Structure 1
């Protein structure tokens, strides 16, 4: 199987040239990944947080995507000091299948799509959790489109990573990574 790795540096609102994974090796990086492919939108009626059978989950393509992404990162020597995820099964499964370290669930990373949570509160709590880490800690967060957009102002595809740097005002996007077949 051949992998295509795309890394794009962000400068202002435009995209720059492709690069390697060195962005993820820098001290203090925060990598925000949308869970891998999970067909559909939102969650079915009757959704229960602790019951995966009631949720929209990764399909075979999503599980393979998560494994390939983790493999590509490990092969490039990328490591993280912390791996956080939402409590939704598709995010937890993505993080676990990537095999980048111990996966810790953080409720503020739960989706607030369709009014399921509180965007302002969860975004503020996520920022506070990040700010509490040592400045040089490298963090991988696996969460949902709405959470990533709230933190960065950027949209993200399934399985895509927005690479950010911490600032006094929050997170500043510096790159995008997408690992495809």
Structure 2
């Protein structure tokens, strides 16, 4: 079994800002969410802990690691989507200034961020990472990553297609069983 966890909240999450692969730290609420996640994780018989190397996931994984007694293994395949030109922009600004692109992003599917990666490319790398975790045989494993990474994994495992991407709610600090 593999469990996926979303990192704790960052200032960008609170501001509704695209952070993509930017190294944004957890805020105070995010640190508390990471501690709460750690308390959930200690109830699982975890054999391995993996994480995205992006700062917010790394910070969350380190808090979880201390509680569960496992050393996190950082894998860039679990990183958030490369949002390209939208990096650091507010959601509301993108929606107002680029309504057609915003609508396409909300529809999911074959979406590609301007100057960034497509959801299909992200899904391919995330699934490859999850296959490797499974093949290593150290299960159950926890992967601390990002909302987009969890969404593309769930679209795949639920066989829903990437059109379901935006319909999947993943709050900060959430723990999801694949």
TM-score of the two chains, using structure 2 as the length reference:
0.62
- Deviating runs (4+, > 6 A) in structure 1? none
The structural deviation recorded for 1:38 is 1.2
* Bigger mean CA offset, 120-129 vs 148-157: 120-129
CA contact (8 A) 1:148 1:155 kept: no
CA contact (8 A) 1:44 1:56 kept: no
* Separation in 1, partners of 2:24, 2:19: 5
* Separation in 2, partners of 1:56, 1:113: 14
CA contact (8 A) 1:83 1:141 kept: yes
* 2:95 equivalent to 1:95: no
Secondary structure of 1:158's counterpart equals coil
* Separation in 2, partners of 1:149, 1:59: 23
Secondary structure of 1:132's counterpart equals helix
Secondary structure of 2:144's counterpart equals strand
The structural deviation recorded for 1:131 is 3.2
RMSD (Å) for aligned C-alpha atoms: 2.3
| 2:150 alignment partner in structure 1 | 148
Secondary structure of 2:80's counterpart equals coil
Any unmatched runs of 5+ in structure 1? 1-28, 48-54, 165-181
| 1:85 alignment partner in structure 2 | 51
Q: Deviations over 1:63-109 (max 9, x none)?
A: 121112213442x4x23111000010000100111222111101100
